[in-house]
Chain A
Amino acid sequence: MQVLIYGCTRLADVLVPVLVHDGHHVTVMDPDSDRLAIIRRQTETDSVWIADPLMQDFLIEGRIDTAEAFYSLSEDDHKNVLLCQIASAIYNVPRTMCLLSDPQLQDFYETLGVQVLNGGHDFLSSARELLDR
């Protein structure tokens, strides 16, 4: 499956090798080129260096238009919310998942039908489940 991930956080460090091992084609985007270099060295993955994730041109560069799944895993809850909704509303990505650390935002966006990832101990299994749907 064609998977696009925004945010080279610790969660991505864990998730990317697992998804690659599962046989998915993973592209990672992050504004920080150093963090991308690390993940690129550890795993076989395409990575895209981006200046501002909210500029949709960069999402295109990460081939969001053909992505079958999109994870937004940055440290910024609001950015994750916007990016996930751009992915599903504008680019019709069928599976999106949004990392939210604020419990209030988790509840609120779950009621709006956004797939929320909470970064807890079961994060890896919930993240992988998304691709089974």
Chain B
Amino acid sequence: MFVVIVGCNSTGYHLAKLLLVAQHEVVVLEKSLARCQRLWDELGSVVIHGDGTDLVDLRRAGITRADTVVAVTDKDETNLVICQMAKHAFSVDRTVATIKDTKNHTVFRILGVDSVVNSGDLVLDILERTIVESSFNHLSTLGDPNTFLVSLTIPDDASAAGKTLGELKIIRVDRNSAPGSEEQNPLSQSFPCVVVRGGKPLAPIAEMVLEARDELFAVTTSEEESNLYDILTGIW
């Protein structure tokens, strides 16, 4: 794959190194000459001195045949301009932008940026997890910033341990096999995806008995996250 990275701050630099190791073709476009000179010694000719919002410089970087353009400069607005140019002036298949302001996620998606990575959110999330231990691990957002994949290791003292996923009402019990249980699931937007027990992945079914130290992966939303957490850790 041929990837053009615009901006060689720490994100751009490490991304370029990762992609080069994985045998991809990479060009990094960096505006600051001083930074370029430092990088030429290490990364060689993959670093090009130029402005990622200049059509001529983008063409010089080979953007016309790029499969993916990644905009990782420190400014959200500049990353938008880079992605819009890549998409509309050069018809690049896939554009990726990093953002710092969470609220820009929606507008970037509406304006045609294919993937938006919120670096600010990721850092906040890790900080929150480090400070407040009792919460899910947020692994990834899924399309929408309010829908995410989370994981949780069932604590030893959880009252959920020893109950089935059906009893916990996080998996709908099939009406045919359990007549009379007409009760709705309390959570409509949360779905367990896989349970890892002793290093082995197991498909979650209603009859599965949850054990302490199981690692459960689930999709949930910002509204239902705390409910799901309460059910799984047994505070309810």
The chain A residues found within 8 Å of chain B, CB to CB, are 54-57, 76-79, 81-82, 85-86, 89-90, 102, 104-105, 108, 111-112
Contacts and interface: CB of A to CB of B under 8 A. Distances in A.
B206 to A, nearest CB: 41
Given A54-B101, A78-B77, A111-B88, A90 B107 contact: yes
B77 A105 contact: no
Given A86-B107, A89-B110, A105-B53, A55 B101 contact: yes
Contacts of A111: 88
22 contacts: A54-B77, A54-B101, A54-B104, A55-B101, A56-B101, A76-B77, A78-B77, A78-B80, A79-B77, A82-B76, A82-B107, A85-B80, A85-B107, A86-B107, A90-B110, A104-B54, A105-B53, A105-B81, A108-B85, A108-B88, A111-B88, A112-B84
Contacts of A86: 107
A105 B54 CA distance: 8
Task: Determine the interface band of chain B, counting residues with CB < 8 A from chain A.
Answer: 20 to 34
Which DSSP category, helix, strand, loop or mixed, fits chain A's interface?
helix
Interface string B82-118: 0011001100000000000101101100110000000
Contacts of A77: 81
B78 A78 contact: yes
B119 to A, nearest CB: 15
A52 to B, nearest CB: 8
B75 interface: yes
Interface in B49-93: 53-55, 75-78, 80-81, 84-85, 88-89
A81 B107 contact: no
A54 B99 CA distance: 11
Leading 4 A-B pairs by shortest Cβ distance: A82-B77, A78-B77, A56-B103, A78-B78
Nearest to B56: A104
Which DSSP category, helix, strand, loop or mixed, fits chain B's interface?
helix
A108 B89 contact: yes
Contacts of A55: 101, 103
Interface of B: 53-55, 75-78, 80-81, 84-85, 88-89, 101, 103-104, 106-107, 110-111
Contacts of B106: 90
Nearest to B104: A54
A72 to B, nearest CB: 11
B55 A82 contact: no
A55 B101 CA distance: 7
Contacts of B77: 54, 76, 78-79, 81-82
A112 B80 contact: no
B80 A82 contact: yes
Nearest to B54: A104
Nearest to B82: A78
B75 A78 contact: yes
A81 B55 contact: no
B167 to A, nearest CB: 43
Nearest to A91: B107
Contacts of A90: 106-107, 110
A57 B76 CA distance: 16
A111 B89 CA distance: 10
The residue in B78, B103, B107 that gathers the most chain A C-beta atoms within 10 A of its C-beta is: B107
